[in-house]
Amino acid sequence: MALKKYKPVTAGTRWRIGNAYAELTTNTPEKSLLEPAKKTGGRNAQGRRSMRYIGGGHKQMYRKIDFKRNKKDIPANVHSIEYDPNRTSFIALLHYADGEKRYIIAPQGLTVGMTVLSGEGIAPEVGNCLPLRNMPLGTVVHNIELQPGQGGIIARSAGASAQLNAKEEKYAVLKMPSGELRKVLITCSATVGSVSNSDHALETKGKAGANRWLGIKPRNRGVAMNPVDHPMGGGEGRSSGGHPRSRTGKYAKGEKTRKKKGSDKLIIVRSNGKKLKNK
């Protein structure tokens, strides 16, 4: 992909580095795969604000994405590569041989006119979806399932990918984007390749208004509040506010935040490099 650097015509464009969207082939989405995406403004079902700093933003439609890839052994032609406002990666519109249309997350290197498949005995080529047991070691994958038939839930954001490191009896060992080594059932499916739009992390918004387009409002610092509003508020001048903590008093640094899960026994090496003992 290519990045676009703007001329400093205004203060907002001086530091802006945007996406040139060179890979996109159309700006008109498939109407049959759209559904309304209602904004909450941070309000819950009672109309009370349960999340701060959310509101406004450009109106968007949700694109229905096929994360399951459950149309087995039916060839699909890549009709277009499109922008999706709901995710960082690009999406690809597939036209199946039986006439159905579906969106998938576009992997890097997928172009219009290519044919993709999903199923058991297919080649591990870019865009194809197959079980981990049928992939050779070292294959780079994304959109990975954790339960067979569940649909991909891992490595779906721009530039993300995991690597198949080993295969055991029931499990495949994957190196996750975080560096974590994890066992995944070998019957789970994944899509070959890494996710498109890998330079997304190098983009710079350039001005605060760009966040307002996304529905993100300015976030007020706790140390700038009064003591009645935040545990870190108050004090004369620019006082530090003490140990960083949340509005409810929970420490923000140092405490472990991950809860114990039954699937922890499938983690071999954590993202921090620590090995776990198998239970």
Spatial CA neighbour of 109 closest among 66, 84, 140, 70: 140
Total residue length of the chain: 279
pTM, rounded to two decimals: 0.91
How far apart are the C-alpha atoms of 189 and 124, rounded to whole Å?
A: 12
pLDDT of residue 1: 61
For residue 44, which amino acid is it?
N
Domains of the chain, residue spans: 3-44+54-200+261-269
Give per-residue pLDDT as tens, 190-237. Answer: 999 999 999 999 999 999 999 999 999 999 999 999 999 999 999 999
Residue 44 CB neighbour total at 10 angstroms: 10
CA gap 81, 19 in Å, rounded: 15
Return the CATH architecture of domain 3-44+54-200+261-269: Beta Barrel (2.40)
Residue 240 has pLDDT above 90, yes or no: no
6-22: pLDDT as tens digits: 999 999 999 999 999 99
> How confident is the model at residue 276, as a pLDDT?
73
24 pLDDT tier (thresholds 50, 70, 90): very high
Report the C-alpha gap between 277 and 263 in whole angstroms: 13
